[in-house]
Structure 1
């Protein structure tokens, strides 16, 4: 841990903000050090640099109020490198006023003399104080954050394999976006009164083309999937989240049902579920896709558990918008019992939405947030069909909010086939 008292951080930030010393004294090392210290727990470094910067700004402002024109003239004559900064600060202060005070710490040399200039031009003290505080948090915060991240180490940054996977998975979207942007720019420069209509049509056509290529032509499902290497598992150690893509940038959906010692096909057959096609496991051509749509059995979009696409997908009878569906993944065998483990994600589609899915933007079904209700219905049906049902707290409770698209108590239904007893 960095061993330094509060005054060390306060003094560095204060001198960095005070007019005169700040022209020669670099304060960034102290701000970075405060972030480094914060990564280990103590917050006094961050508090000290904020207080030091605030007092330095205030003193610089009042020095400007007191000495005004003479102070600017003295700085320009004695320290020539301030002339350009003073002229620029005066210009932007007159044009933008408080906004410039707030962002001055992001404007290089302007930050050195902005509080002094604001005081010399009699910017109201309350206005200066409010907006300089905003600027203080922005300017100091960027270096504190940088110091914090540096202290955490390179592990915070994705490795090259992750970056490569992200770029490969999103390459089609990048090409489509760039193409649509260039065409839109050419259309925008035209004098046609239809240019906005043409731009809209351009984006629609390009994105539809990207979707068609993704689902029916390209190799989006031919890379990145992970093969099972460790077949010895225990239920508490499994991951109970799945994602609509391989790169670690997608919203999670829950694993909420597990079958132990049997296959999901047997369960699904007994409960009357219908098997679906998927893009990763089946060769779905466009004509086949239209045929499945006509039967109200469209292919189910892929989800990935442990970087594997689902092995099987099923749905209950429904229409093109509303349907219950479940995906299954093989998770290996229990370490002790050697029984097969299959994990599943069951949910209910009740709407359509624009979604970020496997590197593209497309229209997919939206799931009902109450996934626990669908889990409980499967458990009830399985119990009636003679399956043993257990609820285990294997997942984490998740509250529904704008950043999450489902809520759950985190419990997982564990199903196993009851042993039949032969009666004599």
Structure 2
């Protein structure tokens, strides 16, 4: 029987889940220890972590990079490195917070000065098209300041809301306080999550191993059952 794309997708999910379970439970010992990988990254970056994470936080909105690389991932990594002890958590939060607000401000000013025509002309480089821009504009028109704060936790809104606020003539004196609040909450949450994650890495890894093992077995059995049923139904 010819294998369909749907079946290929189910098989891929089963394979990934099974490999993850084997990896986290230590059945594949030749794979690198994730904790050691984190420690190696921390030693390599050292104090440059502040600059690295801050720069990416700025570029996420200041240059719309957030549509290509989720910024929270980098902030979590920064928190993990702080948990490892190579840097301090509070300076990390402060530096990234300021960088985040500066990125929002840069995007706001670009929107104010150049308007939506600029982003439509150059947006394809960072996966922005008119449809995505209109979605953010519509949401901003309906929710205003809430979008600036809550949108910080949604990839598309986070990357485009400051620009849309600027291009819509939204007053900067109203925009800035909400940007400060949103950036502070976003940076604080994800950096602390990374910090806590590293501090309890062994416990988290053990629990994750058990959970993923169960998921892998369940998915594998489910896929096998679906394929067997379809084979019997369509000989």
Per-residue displacement from partner, 1:174-230 (whole Å, max 9, x unpaired)? xxxxxxxxxxxxxxxxxxxxxxxxxxxxxxxxxxxxxxxxxxxxxxxxxxxxxxxxx
Which has the larger strand fraction? 1
Alignment of structure 1 residues 49-64 onto 2, 5 Å: 49-64=96-111
On the 8 A contact 2:57/2:100 being kept in 1, the answer is: yes
User: TM-score, length-normalised on structure 2?
Assistant: 0.59
Q: CA deviation at 1:155?
A: 5.8
1:53 and 1:153 map into 2 onto residues whose CA distance is 28
Higher relative contact order, chain-length normalized (CA < 8 Å, sep 6+): 2
The 4+ residue runs of structure 1 with deviation greater than 6 A are none
**Structure 1 SS opposite 2:169:** coil
Unaligned 5+ segments in structure 2 are 1-38, 208-235
Which sections of structure 1, spanning at least 5 residues, go unmatched? Answer: 161-424
Q: Does the CA contact (< 8 Å) of 1:15 and 1:27 recur in 2? A: no
**Which of 167, 170, 182 does residue 135 from structure 1 map onto?**
182
Task: Determine the C-alpha separation between the residues in 1 that align with 2:104 and 2:138.
Answer: 20
CA distance in 2, matches of 1:80, 1:14: 18
CA distance in 1, matches of 2:116, 2:150: 24
Cα 1:79–1:22, aligned 2, differ >3 Å: closer, same or farther? closer
- From 137, 153, 156, give the equivalent of 1:90: 137
> What is the distance in 1 between the residues matched to 2:139 and 2:91?
35
Alignment of 1:330-369 (within 5 A): none
1:261-304 Cα deviation digits (max 9, x unpaired): xxxxxxxxxxxxxxxxxxxxxxxxxxxxxxxxxxxxxxxxxxxx
TM norm structure 1? 0.34
Task: Give the direction of change, closer, same or farther, for the CA distance of 1:51–1:117 in structure 2 (3 Å limit).
Answer: same
Instruction: Say which of 85, 103, 108 aligns to 2:155.
Output: 108
| Greater gyration radius | 1
Equivalent pair of 2:78/2:92 in contact (CA under 8 Å): yes
Correspondence 1:28 to 2:72: yes
Alignment CA distance shift 1:81-1:60 (3 Å): closer
d(CA) in 2 for partners of 1:10, 1:116:
20
- Across the two proteins, how many residue pairs are aligned to each other? 160
Please tell me whether the aligned partners of residues 80 and 197 of structure 2 are also in contact (alpha carbons under 8 angstroms): yes
Residue in 2 aligned with 1:374?
A: none
Partners of 2:98 and 2:126 lie apart in 1 by: 28
